[in-house]
Structure 1
Amino acid sequence: MSMIHSDSQRQSHSQNQSESQSSRAWTPWVVLYRKELIEMWRSYKLLWVPLVFVLFGASQPVATYYMPDLLQASGGLPEGAVVQIPMPTGAEMMANTLSQFSFIGVLVLVLAFMGVVSGERASGVVHMIMMKPVPHRAYMLAKWAGMATLTLIALLGGVAAAWYYTELLIGHVAFPRIAAGTGLYGLWLLFIATLTLLFSSLFRSGGVTAFLAMGITLVLSLLTGTLGNWMRWGPAALTEHSNTVLLQGGLADSFGLCLAVALLLIVLLLEGAVRTFRVKGASL
């Protein structure tokens, strides 16, 4: 009886020790992730980045709806002329709104993230953090999680504002289409954020990081738009699949390959950022 009780105690102690080790492994990441959120709040990124998306999201359906009245009121038209602009459907309006995020939204995110590692390296924050027993992977994963959180908050805010005014002024769009289209477009933005994280860990200058991230994003978008079928597997094709879901309610045959490539590239870019940071560390 005592032997059974002793074995039970050993198993309970071993289980508690395993849980304690698992908790300690996650603790640095949790602390660093909270630090990222606090810093984004103090720097007002959690306010102004979503605000830009919300303003652009709301402005698209409002401007489209009132455009004939604005042109009529601006004057300069022949007497008796009537301005008639075809009104898009609700789905077309939402697709157009997401397309607007492809430049302004991406630019805002890249500018917000371009110094995410290089800025802390230059200010000495990285050196102070690495003096403690903090794994390099935990530091970079916390950075990525903070960037992903801000990206998704901003995108959801912009889409919610666009959807509200689209429903109010233009027409109905089913929620499943909104959710699927937003999810696919969000994955494209996460790819860009991860690319920015890699460049920020590679280069000292935030300007170089922003230039390269925006340049590669533009090239991928142009190649996807011009080469058509040859680039349907690329991550930039996620924007086209997002539009397809919104407009048609379905997905193209190439969606599976595009999704797999996008997820694989995000993982590889993130792993590259971790390894780069491990090599460069806090050095300038």
Structure 2
Amino acid sequence: MSTFTVLAAKEGNEIFRTWRIWVLPAIVMFFAVVGPPLAKITPELLGSVTGSAPGSLALPDATFSDAYGQWIKNLSQIVLFTIIIMYGGVVSSEIRDGTAAFVLSKPISRATFIAAKASIHAMFITVVFALGTLTTWFVTFLTFGTAPSGQLWGAAFLLLIYGLLALSYTMLFSVLIPAAAGAAGTGLGIYALLAVGAAWDPLATFGPSGVPGIAAAIAAGQEHVSPAWPSVTSLVAAAAALGVASLIFNRKEL
């Protein structure tokens, strides 16, 4: 059995034995279940509030696109915040409690340590995103009677890439910053910078900043710029963050 396999098994066991196995899936599934019904009744609720106001306009009935848009909004905001906060201590906590030093006293490279963590947690996030998106599609179909899959899965796949980028740079900060709160806070700061960067067309068209907006447009069935460049640059940035994390961790005193 390779060292990577051993470390991967360790990370998998830690997911199932800690709060991570409950927190992210619970949040994702909550929004997947309540999102479509909420999207359906929102126009009715707003109409009941504003209907008696002079000059008020009748709101159009909700469609499956509204449910998809709500799902993508939740993924790109609350779920990504959760990922960043969850993984702020993914490396620093093991350094602090001595687990990393014990594991690396064996013939295991530090690069393999980082790679195993990134791989298993990326798989975990992927599975949770897929289950949440499948649930959203099913509940949308039950709620609206129609639910084309292409819009939803295309948008969710883009945001999965964005989520993996968030995981990667949060792991980098977890190597750099001893405190989990500090790493998570810095990760949220990078998220905010990416959101601001979306206002600049070159970054929105070619960089990771454009991913949430393009995903929202796909979910709504609207015209959008090609997601190819933002996807590629997000993956490159994620790989670069993990590469830098590995280099820094390799020189870090445990």
Normalising by the residue count of structure 2, what TM-score does the alignment of the two structures yield?
0.88
SS in 2 for 1:232: helix
For residue 179 of structure 1, report the CA deviation from its aligned partner. 2.4
| 2: CA distance, partners of 1:238 / 1:87 | 28
- Equivalent of 1:186 in 137, 150, 160: 160
- CA 130–267 in structure 1, closer or farther in 2 if over 3 Å, else same: same
Q: What RMSD over aligned residues (CA atoms) do the two structures have, in Å? A: 2.6
Normalising by the residue count of structure 1, what TM-score does the alignment of the two structures yield?
0.80
- Equivalent of 2:100 in 112, 115, 126: 126
In structure 2, the partner of 1:17 is none
For residue 114 of structure 1, report the CA deviation from its aligned partner. 0.9
For residue 181 of structure 1, report the CA deviation from its aligned partner. 1.7
- Equivalent of 2:80 in 106, 111, 114: 106
- Equivalent of 1:117 in 91, 99, 112: 91
- CA 122–96 in structure 1, closer or farther in 2 if over 3 Å, else same: same
In structure 1, the partner of 2:206 is 233
1:57-72 to structure 2, matched below 5 A, reads: 57-67=32-42
- Equivalent of 2:234 in 258, 262, 267: 262
- Equivalent of 1:276 in 231, 237, 248: 248
- Equivalent of 1:215 in 167, 189, 192: 189
In structure 2, the partner of 1:167 is 141
For residue 57 of structure 1, report the CA deviation from its aligned partner. 2.0
For residue 34 of structure 1, report the CA deviation from its aligned partner. 1.0
Q: Which runs of 5+ in 1 are unaligned?
A: 1-23
- Equivalent of 1:205 in 170, 179, 200: 179
8 A contact 2:88–2:174 mirrored in 1: yes
Q: How many residues align?
A: 251
| 2: CA distance, partners of 1:189 / 1:213 | 12
Identical columns (%): 20
For residue 212 of structure 1, report the CA deviation from its aligned partner. 0.6
In structure 2, the partner of 1:6 is none
Residue by residue, what CA displacement relative to the aligned partner does 1:144-167 show, whole Å, maximum 9, x if unpaired? Answer: 012212211222232222222211
In structure 2, the partner of 1:243 is 216
